[in-house]
Amino acid sequence: MRVAIFTDNDFAKVNGVTTTLAAVLQYAPPDMQLRIYTAADEDIDTPGYFALSPPAFRSRSTVR
């Protein structure tokens, strides 16, 4: 089963939400394909985590 989790917490900070999400990724049953989607300071694409930096996070020199 594929499960998408959308959050406004990226893994750059440590709090209850990110700790819980990390535990969900680590301890989910093997038949579950989990992926967390969020915005972050930089783009990250791993099997369990996908983060994109929105234009407001990018430096002004890279935004067109």
pLDDT of residue 55: 80
Longest dimension (CA), the chain: 44
Among 8, 40, 54, 4, residue whose Cα is nearest residue 25 = 4
Q: Which residues pair with 55 in a beta bridge?
A: none
Among 63, 7, 64, 57, residue whose Cα is nearest residue 34 = 7
Q: Phi and psi of 37, rounded to 5°?
A: -115, 135
Is the per-residue pLDDT at 64 higher than 50?
no
pLDDT of residue 16: 93
- Please write the tens of the pLDDT for every residue from 5-62: 999 888 888 899 999 999 999 999 999 999 999 988 889 999 999 999 888 655 544 5
Count other Cβ atoms within 10 Å, centred on residue 41: 12
Considering the entire predicted model, what is its pTM?
0.76
